[in-house]
Amino acid sequence: MANPLYDALFGRHQGKTTPFIQLADGQVITHGSFVALSAQYAHLFGKFGLEPGDRVAAQIEKSPQSLAVYAACAQAGLVFLPLNTAYTADELSYFVHDSGARLMLCDNKRLEALRPIATAAGASLETMNVDGQGSFSKQAASMPTVFHTVARSKDDLAAFLYTSGTTGRSKGAMLTQENLLSNGQVLMTEWAFTGSDVLLHALPIFHTHGLFVATNIALLSGCKILFLSKFDLDAVIDLLPQATTLMGVPTFYTRLLDDPRFTKNLTQHMRLFVSGSAPLLAETHLRFEDRTGHRILERYGMTETNMSTTNPYRGERRAGTVGFPLPGVELKITDSITGETLPQGEIGKIEVRGSNVFKGYWNMPEKTAEELREDGFFITGDLGQIDADGYVEIVGRNKDLIISGGYNIYPKEIELLLDMQDGILESAIVGVPHPDFGETVVGVLVANPGETPDLETIKKNITTSLARFKHPQKLFLLPELPRNTMGKVQKNVLREEFGDMFLPSKDLTTLPQLG
């Protein structure tokens, strides 16, 4: 019996001397040596008593060895649980206990803080450092380099990814072999990846973008990866002439555009720039195309669905949209109350169905039933619309919808106007409690470097284009917007910071600049 995910991603590379990973120092790891390393890890899992279906929690820095842990889990039939390296011990305690992980991997510097958590959870605890060394690697070094792959089916679990938990307890999204494999295969085809590509990989690998999109596509196509432990502007600029593709978040592209070394000549060998994980400003699209001659390809996905839509590789990549549903993915816009499908052009909840959609939330049957319909459609929590040409546009998160005096207000509409104003780099609109309207609109702005925008003028400019109930009651100027590790604006942080400003006891002099 086969193991579809392992066979397609890793097993077919056994013994190959083709380059797989090139490190920043020029060291090259072949496909065959990587597969041999992961086999040693799989043997060690057995020594620890792990059985198919058990969970392996890994809070380890990005390295070829940490990537081999993913491969070993697939080969041994285990469920891989990558965890954000920024999580605190308290946060990790929840993930480890909730998942029932049998083994924890961590950096040596976190060992003492995590030891009580592992003990309480009944999990083994081993180390793997940023250089790939540690107690786990040391024990694995004496293991055989060939492992008899555990048979699994397409419906077996391959990974857990926990959601951010900004509106409640984090949920463990259960991803099957088919979820990961089918999505990687479709994206490889849609984005025209081949073995001759060279992918510049500067994303973290505890997230679906860097792990299940970038890495899986590279493995499926057999291309080489230029492997950076993190986004380093100098390193990216140095390596770009060797690359053909780059996958990134909007911050990658804005930082590149701010550097005069980033020129059309530097990108002449590139064939594709992909952006995701957070919305890309239309201005960034245009600046990037003007500078390089390339138009960034923006796509849409999330933890529970991997990728669901993409702008076309061949065809118009339309700024401000995330393109069309991928082959095999159904997408519809539904009414937030009735669940009925809305006519094209109307704003509503985005729902998707396909082999990319997860199996459900671990230990949360009620939450699964709330968000995953019996017919297979997943309620994403995002608001969007489909334009006349079929392009999908994300308007915002459903939880970010503002209801003021009974009227629905979509933050994206106001943010687009604010972003166009003189001196403004970017903006965020949030709803905060109001004694009369229930909620009201507050705008948070970031200025262009070296500029001091006139907030009163901006307020007057945008109010002429908006119905009165959409007018921001206050504008604030901050040095930057709060973001998570993948570049998404954390509106929950803004709501918490400004949430009580309209309460009678609030002292507005303690807040940032007001307009």
Angstrom distance (rounded) from CA 464 to CA 472: 12
Give the CATH superfamily of 401-514.
ANL, C-terminal domain (3.30.300.30)
pLDDT band at 515 (very low <50, low <70, confident <90, very high): very low
Tell me which architecture the domain covering 4-152 has in CATH: 3-Layer(aba) Sandwich (3.40)
Provide mean pLDDT across the span 163-184: 85
Provide mean pLDDT across the span 386-402: 88
Average pLDDT, the chain: 91
Q: What are phi and psi of 175, to 5 degrees?
A: -110, 130
The tokens for 115 are: 């030891």
| pLDDT for 397 | 75
Angstrom distance (rounded) from CA 140 to CA 43: 8
Provide mean pLDDT across the span 435-440: 75
Strand 79-82: give its sheet, edge to edge.
Answer: 124-127, 103-106, 55-59, 79-82, 157-162, 172-176, 360-361
Angstrom distance (rounded) from CA 479 to CA 274: 27
Cβ 259 vs Cβ 253: under 8 Å: no
Positive or negative torsion for Cα 457, 461, 467, 470: negative
| pLDDT for 506 | 52
Listed by start position, the domains of the chain span 4-152, 198-398, 401-514
Predicted confidence (pLDDT) at residue 272 exceeds the cutoff of 50: yes
Q: pLDDT by residue (tens digit) across 115-164?
A: 999 999 999 999 999 999 999 999 999 999 999 999 999 999 999 999 86
Angstrom distance (rounded) from CA 60 to CA 41: 15
| pLDDT for 147 | 97
Q: Which residues of 463-500 are buried (b: 16+ CB within 10 A; e: fewer)?
A: eeeeeeebbbebbbbeeebbebebbbbebbbbbebbbe
Q: pLDDT by residue (tens digit) across 406-432?
A: 677 878 888 888 999 999 999 999 988
Among 191-200, 366-375, 403-412, 463-472, the range scoring the smallest mean pLDDT is 403-412
Cβ 38 vs Cβ 132: under 8 Å: no
Angstrom distance (rounded) from CA 34 to CA 56: 19
pLDDT band at 88 (very low <50, low <70, confident <90, very high): confident
**Residue 353: C-alpha distances to residues 189, 227, 356, 375 (Å):** 20, 33, 8, 9
pLDDT band at 514 (very low <50, low <70, confident <90, very high): very low
Q: What are phi and psi of 233, to 5 degrees?
A: -55, -45
Q: pLDDT by residue (tens digit) across 11-56?
A: 999 999 999 999 999 999 999 999 999 999 999 999 999 999 999 9
DSSP assignment string, 423-461:
TEEEEEEEEEEETTTEEEEEEEEEEPTT----HHHHHHH
pLDDT band at 175 (very low <50, low <70, confident <90, very high): very high
Q: Where are the beta strands (DSSP E) in 373-515?
A: 378-386, 392-397, 402-404, 407-409, 424-434, 438-447, 474-477, 513-514
Provide mean pLDDT across the span 319-342: 94
Predicted confidence (pLDDT) at residue 400 exceeds the cutoff of 70: yes
CATH code reported for the domain at 198-398: 3.40.50.12780
pLDDT band at 167 (very low <50, low <70, confident <90, very high): very low
Provide mean pLDDT across the span 486-495: 85
Angstrom distance (rounded) from CA 162 to CA 145: 32
Predicted confidence (pLDDT) at residue 201 exceeds the cutoff of 80: yes
| pLDDT for 150 | 98
| pLDDT for 465 | 80
Angstrom distance (rounded) from CA 59 to CA 66: 9
Domains 4-152 and 401-514 belong to one CATH topology: no
Provide the 10 A C-beta neighbour count for residue 220.
Answer: 19
| pLDDT for 169 | 74
**Residue 368: C-alpha distances to residues 164, 270, 337, 362 (Å):** 16, 41, 18, 9
CA dihedral 190, 196, 197, 200 (to 10 degrees): 150
| pLDDT for 166 | 46
Q: What are phi and psi of 374, to 5 degrees?
A: -60, -30
| pLDDT for 164 | 64
For the chain, percent of residues with pLDDT exceeding 70: 96
